[in-house]
Structure 1
């Protein structure tokens, strides 16, 4: 097969930042994706309906001319989240989900949740109206090894929340372990997971072996090869519980290349080409559309996109090494392999 037609895909986990960064990176997503679930971890975070409306307007203003890209907004869950404000935002279709960051888990998560009992009422209201909770699934206890934090989160935080708030619809975002894959597969209809592009390609050796490679450093951090293989198996299986959330996370090189560098891989530019290579290697190209374009829309209760895109296989494509912003360069994720698939047009 050297030609593949897909419904235009959606990205169910995207960081656009704001200001100059937003203006620079939004075209990289809008070029291929119809919709994206926008993460709310700005500084200050998007915590109210008014915040979400203002941020949505800034995103729409930054769209390339003629683009039909649609941002799907989220609220940042805090221990002070106003239930009435949240419900009102959901009822008018302003927000599609709420994001849970354990305090200190990742970039700009300082305002996240420390005491989960303080958000129970919010979660109960979300369960009542069917509003999904997207979770960054890692504990932040410094006593827990960073490679074990996802598994510990499932056992000590996520499973208790789901038992305490039955009917809560949960998206376990950017899963990185076979533990998470198994948990989602056995968790019923109320839980799904997103898988990133980069976690399908890299394991922890890519970050650490032969020298530290900061552009592969992300959170959750990549795990052992056995976990990567579990993610590939889940993504390429056609199982509707798994779909694409790139977690494309732009940081200036000046912020990545320092003694305490930022976590995140910027994959918006070449995600579809990378995914086509991964799915082709697994003999699963016919399941790529489900992963990128169907499963996520079905979970969020919206129609799949009518518009199609075409992937064509040919000579290796030249991916730009970086995206220039008004503040500096953002390095594009390097999958470490030739990319033969490109989006036509």
Structure 2
């Protein structure tokens, strides 16, 4: 196959940041994707519907002229979140989900949840009104090994939470383990998972073998090869519970290339080329549309996009910049470590 036409894809987990960084990166998403779930972990975070209104305006103002892109806004769950405000945001059509960050789990998550009893009224209201909870699925207790955080979170936090509020719709974001895949597959309902571009391609060796490579460091951290293979199998399966959420997360190079570097991999610019390569490797190009364009809208109660995207396989490798320049500084682009031949036709 040399050409593939699919519905225009969506990104169900995206970091756009703010200010000059937002202006520098939003075009890489809006060129290829029609919609994206926007993460709320700014400084200060997007906690209220008013915060989300203001942030959405900043995003819309930064979209390059001619691009058709709709940011889907979320709220950052804190122990002080107002259930009435969440419901009003949902009724207005602005708020598409609420994001749970366990405190300290990742970038700008220090304001996240420590005591789940304090957020139960909000979660119960969300279950009642059908608003999904997006979950960063890791525990942060220091005695748990970083490679085990996802599995322990499922056992000690997510499963008890879902038992308390079984009607709550939960999206496990950026699943990185076979444990997570198996947990979603074994669920009777109200549970789905996003998979990132980079976790389908790299395992933990990419970070550590031959020297520490900070531009492959993300949270949740990439795991061993057996987990990567489980993620790929889920992505290409056609199972409607799995869909694309890139977790593309830009940081300027000085904040990555330092003694205590930030977690995040920037993939928005080359995700569709990478995914076509992966799905072709798995003899599953016919499943790419479901993963990137159909399963996510179905989960979030939206119609799939009517516009289409055509991917063409070139004889010569497609080139992407090693870095993009933003007003905030340079951002290194994800390198999949193999040549990319699939190109988005423009």
Tell me the TM-score normalised to structure 1 length: 1.00
- Residue 43 of structure 2 aligns to a residue whose secondary structure is coil
Q: Tell me whether 1:226 sits opposite 2:209 in the alignment.
A: no
Provide the C-alpha distance between the structure 2 equivalents of 1:299 and 1:38, rounded to a whole number of angstroms. Answer: 16
Q: How many residues are paired up?
A: 345
Alignment correspondent of 2:244: 244
> RMSD value over aligned CA atoms?
0.4
Partner residue, 1:213 = 213
Instruction: Report deviation, 1:328.
Output: 1.2
Q: 1:297: which partner in 2?
A: 297
Separation (CA, whole Å) in 2 of partners of 1:41 and 1:306: 31
Unaligned runs of 5+ in 2: none
Q: Any residues of structure 2 matched to 1:55-134 within 5 Å, and which?
A: 55-134=55-134
> How far off its partner does 1:67 sit?
1.3
- Name the SS of the counterpart of 2:254 in structure 1: helix
Matches within 5 A, 1:117-266: 117-266=117-266
Which residue of structure 1 lines up, in the alignment, with residue 341 of structure 2?
Answer: 340
Hey, which bits of structure 1, 4+ residues long, moved more than 4 A?
Answer: none
Q: Deviations over 1:231-260 (max 9, x none)?
A: 000000000000000000000001000000
Unaligned runs of 5+ in 1: none
Give the match for residue 321 of structure 1.
Answer: 322
CA distance in structure 1 between the aligned counterparts of 2:16 and 2:327, rounded to whole angstroms: 15
Q: Secondary structure at the match of 2:68?
A: coil
Secondary structure at the aligned position of 1:163 is classed as helix
Hey, what's the Cα distance between the residues in 2 that align with 1:306 and 1:132? 24
- Cα deviation digits, residues 60-91 of structure 1 (max 9, x gap): 00010011100000000000000111100001
| Shift, 1:188, TM fit | 2.2
User: Displacement, 1:327?
Assistant: 2.3
Find the aligned partners of 1:63 and 1:269 in 2 and give their Cα distance. 15
Question: What CA deviation, in whole Å up to 9, does each residue of 1:173-209 have, x standing for no partner?
Answer: 0000000000000112200000000000000000001
Partner Cα separation in structure 2 for residue 64 and residue 195 of structure 1 = 27
